[in-house]
Chains A and B, each alone.
Chain A
Amino acid sequence: MTFARRDYRAVVVGAGIIGLYTAYHLARRGAGPVLVVDRGFLSSGGSGRNGGGVRQQWETRGTIRLAREAVAAYRRFGRDFGTNVWFRQGGYLFLAEGPAELERLARVHEVVRSEGLPSQLLTAEQVAERVPGIAPGSVVGGSFLASDGTVYPFPAVWGLYEAVRALGVEVVLGVSALGVRAEQGRVQGVETSAGPAGAPTVVNAAGGWSAEFSRACGLEVPNVATRHEILATEPMKPFLDPMVVRASDGLYFSQTMRGELVGGLTVPHEPGTRRGVPSSPRFVTAMARALVGLLPRLRGLGVLRAWAGFYDDSPDGLPVIGEDPRLGGFVHANGFGGHGFMLAPSASERVARAVLAEPVDLDPKEFSPARFLGSGAAPSRERLQLG
């Protein structure tokens, strides 16, 4: 028997940042026995493959509010969970290459400011002060929020892993969830590669595999897994504080605590291509060209390694949080579109509330799975899907 019990209050599918945080919030609320299963090892999915950005600059107010809470949570993560996530608030700097982009950033800036966050619009000269060596004439300006920052993703996963286990949550790695057992439109348990586990609730926090799991449970969902790649350069002494993001092509990079420049670029990949995570010459060379074009001083710097991971994209760029109206007890915690780490602490708290059927303070138009089931178009949309 792989599992310690036959029945649980909830089974969480996915031991990434969302799944573990959800388990944590459930355990803290005294929900009863919780089981977390994951098909891989710790950090094998998106939680171990992301660029570590945490920002509060968004187009949609609901996301800004979640992100603000998340920043506060990462600030106290070390004290709460015992591991340093090296949350460094070097700011997020969005670059505009032309007036149209600057206008778009200005609109976001207005929303962010009206939520009480002191974001700034920068001139090209002010951008150059924050990005030493930026190619002259490459930007017309940017927007900046000093309290945004970066975390080192792995220790967040480790800290939560240790914390939830200390709270009695059972985490079983290397076990795939294959589907749910349902009766009369309600979840009764989960089928896994290691056998069944009974539970009235299952949380789909499977990240890049969430659509696959939903479908295996008979639920058609619009989520699409898209492959994104990242590279890291050789480590250097600190020279760059903010996370830098370019709106036009999705270029983003920051200098990590280890001194490496880590970043990515949106290279269109056909969805549904092989699920592998090797990096492609196409990405590595396109990323190199973008970096060298923006920061010519990096030319001689070596690329140390590159890797790939999967975003779990929803059609409107907003996460999917809440119970599926078609299947009682099936709770979505997915569709984060590469921003799971940024929103996990606060979004997962809402997931836990949904599991416990407590009221959730999220706008259903923005976050509920029901928004894709109705006839009309989704009214809200988050287009700042970068970095």
Chain B
Amino acid sequence: MGRSTSRQFRFGRAQLEARDGESLLAALARRGWPSLVRSVRYHRPRGPMCGVGDCTGCLVRVNGVPNQRACRRPVREGDQVLTENSWPSPRHDLFGIADLLLPHGLDTVHGLRRPAFLTGTYQRAVRRLAGYGHAPDPPASATAAEPHRREAEVLVVGAGRSGRASAEALVRAGLRPLLLERRADAVPVDGAETLAGTTASMLAPPAGGTDRFSLLGFDLDGAGVVVRARSVVVATGGYDAGLLFEGSDRPGVVTGDLALSGVGLPLGPSVIVGSGERARTVVERLGKDAAAVVAFGDIGPELVRTAAELEVPLYPRSRVVRAVGRGRVRALEVARRDGAGRFRLACSAVVLAHRRLPNDQLLFQAGAARSWRDTPGAYFPEVDRRGRTGVARLFAVGSAARPAGSAAPSADELADAVRGQETTLAPSPPELGGRPGELLAYYRELLRERRRGKWVLCPCEDVLLEEVERAVERGFRGLEVVKRYTGVGTGLCQGRYCLPEAIVALAILEGRPPTEVGFITQRPPLVPTPLSALAAVAGEFATELPP
């Protein structure tokens, strides 16, 4: 590699170098495990968890702008990178005392209401605990990046396997789709226009006399993107869900997405949680770093084979109890479900690959319906065999549309449906294996555990399971109310890593089925979207009527 392909940037006082196109997190990870963040309320140590730009484990301040995800931001020459929310450093943070002083968390709803003369001081202290970074610095220049505007007959969101296959089939069917992809390194599809490095954040159904969907997004430079499209195919894929246990917010507890991403985080010996294809892929990728596999139920035959080849021990019918360690995880405590005892597996990472959930929020924004599936214990969009959603000209394919392992529509069938004018949704019964309600059983067993430390249900906002329990005890029931009562699901990840867990935990605490607890349609935008990107396209919508 020549000198011209490297980038110089500053991290605190250190002058560092990154490869061309490398993300900040990848560049920092080459120096060892990156400790970048303390949590928002209790200043608990946190580490990168998802590697795909959703969690709060790698937030940094870049060139005076707070809360940038190091995993998504390519290094630019001369970047000034600072850590946030800790002093003197994320590794040794004096504010971490908050975690020790408040073993059961801070009850902001009921805490310290008198004496009156102290409440002002208390209020100021609580106010300072909020937020990750400081307000942005005044901008060096006022020039805004030019927004991108596109019109398309068909928009395909996501250039993963399903998105590409759909785009190719649409091209074969004589259409010229526009392919939108969040990653910068998307490979173009012949006959389709590709917009790489573009994050979709809002999808509005046709409104105010137009027949076009409106998609709002932004590119890697923070420039606004508006796409008007007659039909939309959502192929945004899936993500590996979180899991609640004691210490599940500890640095080193990561999802399969991060383990499989190109970030190159030094995970070291890792315990993989999961029993299916996703866990198998992680084991294969980690190779000699795969230290053990823990699964709540039985382990799939393919994973058994791969593990045998790599000599990775398997612990089926076992439950994760807690991640042990003060900073980064040192071991995972596991309980045999048959009561045959507990043991610790030494490790420096825990990889969650037990449950893959759909990136389906764009679909719900545009009005698609959803229904609960006991396996894998989550809501999924209602999509038929041809990718139709019930909203006219809105389609979904791949993992965004259905649970792993269930039949996917063929790309050609989808292309037919897009070309045709059919709008009715043919009901498609779930075709799933597995044991229903396994996740409910996991949480039922977990909630019987004696609690020693904080169980952080929502890592973005440091919401503890205890707070949810208090809410339910006081008679506040249902996800909508408990979300507002505790703040669960209102953080930067838009609830991706806590709402699916909260639904199941609430169902148990309230003693009713998950479907009665309710669900929440995440409020747009899907991901934090720069004000400048939105401001730049305001003229596009100035006369539009509401949906």
A278 CA to B540 CA in the complex, in Å?
Answer: 19
**Would A299 and B532 be within 8 Å (CB), given that A84-B110, A257-B130, A278-B547 are in contact?**
yes
Task: Name the B residues within 8 Å of A257 (CB-CB).
Answer: 123, 126-127, 130
Q: How far is the CB of B380 from chain A (nearest CB, A)?
A: 20
A287 CA to B524 CA in the complex, in Å?
Answer: 14
**Would A83 and B110 be within 8 Å (CB), given that A280-B204, A296-B138 are in contact?**
yes
Interface: A3 (CB within 8 A): no
A129 CA to B113 CA in the complex, in Å?
Answer: 31
Q: Which residue of A lies closest to B208 (CB)?
A: A282
**Would A237 and B109 be within 8 Å (CB), given that A285-B538, A285-B541, A301-B136 are in contact?**
no
| A301 B531 Cβ-Cβ under 8 A | yes
Contact among A158, A293, A302 with B485 in the assembled complex (CB-CB below 8 Å): A158
**Would A282 and B524 be within 8 Å (CB), given that A79-B114, A237-B128 are in contact?**
no
How many A-B Cβ pairs are below 8 Å? Answer: 211
Q: Which residue of A lies closest to B215 (CB)?
A: A281
Q: How far is the CB of B150 from chain A (nearest CB, A)?
A: 15
Interface: A306 (CB within 8 A): yes
- B interface footprint on A44-83 (CB within 8 Å = 1, 0 otherwise): 1000100000000000000000000000000010110011
Restricting to B297-326, which residues have a CB under 8 Å from any CB of A?
none
Restricting to A233-255, which residues have a CB under 8 Å from any CB of B?
233-240
Task: Name the B residues within 8 Å of A258 (CB-CB).
Answer: 130-131, 487
Q: How far is the CB of B60 from chain A (nearest CB, A)?
A: 13
**Would A285 and B530 be within 8 Å (CB), given that A82-B110, A84-B110, A257-B123 are in contact?**
no
Q: How far is the CB of A302 from chain B (nearest CB, A)?
A: 3
| B532 A235 Cβ-Cβ under 8 A | no
A304 CA to B522 CA in the complex, in Å?
Answer: 10
| B109 A274 Cβ-Cβ under 8 A | no
Restricting to A317-355, which residues have a CB under 8 Å from any CB of B?
none
| A288 B534 Cβ-Cβ under 8 A | yes
- A interface footprint on B512-546 (CB within 8 Å = 1, 0 otherwise): 00000000011111011111111101101110111
Interface: A219 (CB within 8 A): no
Interface: B133 (CB within 8 A): yes
Interface: B365 (CB within 8 A): yes
Q: Which residue of A lies closest to B461 (CB)?
A: A258
A33 CA to B484 CA in the complex, in Å?
Answer: 29
- What number of B residues sit within 8 Å (CB to CB) of A? 72
Q: Which residue of A lies closest to B65 (CB)?
A: A300
Q: How far is the CB of A106 from chain B (nearest CB, A)?
A: 30
Task: Name the A residues within 8 Å of B547 (CB-CB).
Answer: 274, 276, 278, 280
Interface: A25 (CB within 8 A): no
Task: Name the A residues within 8 Å of B441 (CB-CB).
Answer: none
| A44 B528 Cβ-Cβ under 8 A | no
Task: Name the A residues within 8 Å of B222 (CB-CB).
Answer: 299-300
A interface bracket (residues with beta carbon within 8 Å of B): 35 or more
| A300 B523 Cβ-Cβ under 8 A | no
B65, B485, B527, B531 — most chain A CB neighbours (10 Å): B531
| A302 B523 Cβ-Cβ under 8 A | no
From B10-18, B381-389, B402-410, B474-482, the one touching the partner chain is B474-482
Interface: B139 (CB within 8 A): yes
Interface: B111 (CB within 8 A): yes
**Would A234 and B111 be within 8 Å (CB), given that A288-B538, A289-B535, A296-B142 are in contact?**
no
| B540 A235 Cβ-Cβ under 8 A | no
Q: How far is the CB of A166 from chain B (nearest CB, A)?
A: 11
| A299 B485 Cβ-Cβ under 8 A | no
Contact among B114, B480, B529, B542 with A302 in the assembled complex (CB-CB below 8 Å): B529
Contact among A84, A274, A285, A298 with B546 in the assembled complex (CB-CB below 8 Å): A274
Contact among A274, A281, A303, A304 with B544 in the assembled complex (CB-CB below 8 Å): A281
A227, A236, A256, A276 — most chain B CB neighbours (10 Å): A236
| B541 A236 Cβ-Cβ under 8 A | no
Interface: B492 (CB within 8 A): yes
| B123 A235 Cβ-Cβ under 8 A | no
B66, B137, B474 — most chain A CB neighbours (10 Å): B66
| B481 A234 Cβ-Cβ under 8 A | no
Interface: B101 (CB within 8 A): no
| B535 A305 Cβ-Cβ under 8 A | no
Q: How far is the CB of B499 from chain A (nearest CB, A)?
A: 13
**Would A304 and B528 be within 8 Å (CB), given that A162-B474, A280-B546 are in contact?**
yes
Task: Name the A residues within 8 Å of B371 (CB-CB).
Answer: none
| B110 A304 Cβ-Cβ under 8 A | no
**Would A280 and B532 be within 8 Å (CB), given that A78-B114, A238-B128, A297-B138 are in contact?**
no
Task: Name the B residues within 8 Å of A303 (CB-CB).
Answer: 525, 528-531, 534
Q: How far is the CB of B183 from chain A (nearest CB, A)?
A: 19
Interface: A177 (CB within 8 A): no
A304 CA to B542 CA in the complex, in Å?
Answer: 21
A154 CA to B109 CA in the complex, in Å?
Answer: 10
Q: Which residue of A lies closest to B113 (CB)?
A: A78
Q: How far is the CB of B210 from chain A (nearest CB, A)?
A: 12
Interface: B116 (CB within 8 A): yes
A227 CA to B546 CA in the complex, in Å?
Answer: 9
| A285 B540 Cβ-Cβ under 8 A | yes
Task: Name the A residues within 8 Å of B524 (CB-CB).
Answer: 278-279, 284, 305-306
Task: Name the B residues within 8 Å of A299 (CB-CB).
Answer: 136, 139, 144, 222, 530-532, 535
Task: Name the B residues within 8 Å of A296 (CB-CB).
Answer: 138-139, 142
Restricting to A75-124, which residues have a CB under 8 Å from any CB of B?
76, 78-79, 82-84, 86, 88
| B131 A236 Cβ-Cβ under 8 A | yes
Interface: B166 (CB within 8 A): no
Restricting to B393-448, which residues have a CB under 8 Å from any CB of A?
none
Interface: B119 (CB within 8 A): yes
Contact among B40, B142, B523, B527 with A279 in the assembled complex (CB-CB below 8 Å): B523
| B113 A79 Cβ-Cβ under 8 A | yes
Task: Name the B residues within 8 Å of A234 (CB-CB).
Answer: 66-67, 132, 492, 528
A206 CA to B494 CA in the complex, in Å?
Answer: 30
Interface: A270 (CB within 8 A): yes
Task: Name the A residues within 8 Å of B484 (CB-CB).
Answer: 42-43, 48, 154
Interface: B35 (CB within 8 A): no
Q: Which residue of A lies closest to B130 (CB)?
A: A259
Task: Name the B residues within 8 Å of A84 (CB-CB).
Answer: 108-113
Task: Name the B residues within 8 Å of A269 (CB-CB).
Answer: 545-546
Interface: B253 (CB within 8 A): no
A286 CA to B546 CA in the complex, in Å?
Answer: 13
Q: Which residue of A lies closest to B64 (CB)?
A: A300
Task: Name the B residues within 8 Å of A48 (CB-CB).
Answer: 484
Interface: A133 (CB within 8 A): yes
Task: Name the A residues within 8 Å of B108 (CB-CB).
Answer: 84, 86
Restricting to B260-302, which residues have a CB under 8 Å from any CB of A?
none
B110, B123, B131 — most chain A CB neighbours (10 Å): B131
Task: Name the A residues within 8 Å of B167 (CB-CB).
Answer: none
Q: How far is the CB of B476 from chain A (nearest CB, A)?
A: 7
A78 CA to B115 CA in the complex, in Å?
Answer: 10
Interface: A372 (CB within 8 A): no
**Would A236 and B133 be within 8 Å (CB), given that A280-B204, A280-B207 are in contact?**
yes
Task: Name the B residues within 8 Å of A78 (CB-CB).
Answer: 113-114, 119
| B544 A86 Cβ-Cβ under 8 A | no
| B116 A79 Cβ-Cβ under 8 A | yes
Interface: B340 (CB within 8 A): no
Q: Which residue of A lies closest to B522 (CB)?
A: A305
Interface: B363 (CB within 8 A): no
Interface: B216 (CB within 8 A): yes
| A44 B480 Cβ-Cβ under 8 A | yes
A305 CA to B493 CA in the complex, in Å?
Answer: 11
| A86 B123 Cβ-Cβ under 8 A | yes
Q: Would you list the 5 A-B pairs with minimal beta carbon distance, nearest first?
A: A302-B528, A259-B131, A78-B113, A300-B65, A288-B534
16 sample A-B contacts, Cβ–Cβ < 8 Å, listed by A number: A43-B484, A82-B113, A234-B66, A234-B67, A237-B130, A237-B131, A238-B131, A281-B202, A282-B544, A289-B535, A293-B535, A296-B139, A297-B139, A299-B222, A301-B135, A305-B524
7 new A-B pairs (CB below 8 Å) besides A162-B474, A236-B133? A86-B123, A237-B128, A279-B524, A282-B545, A285-B535, A302-B530, A305-B522
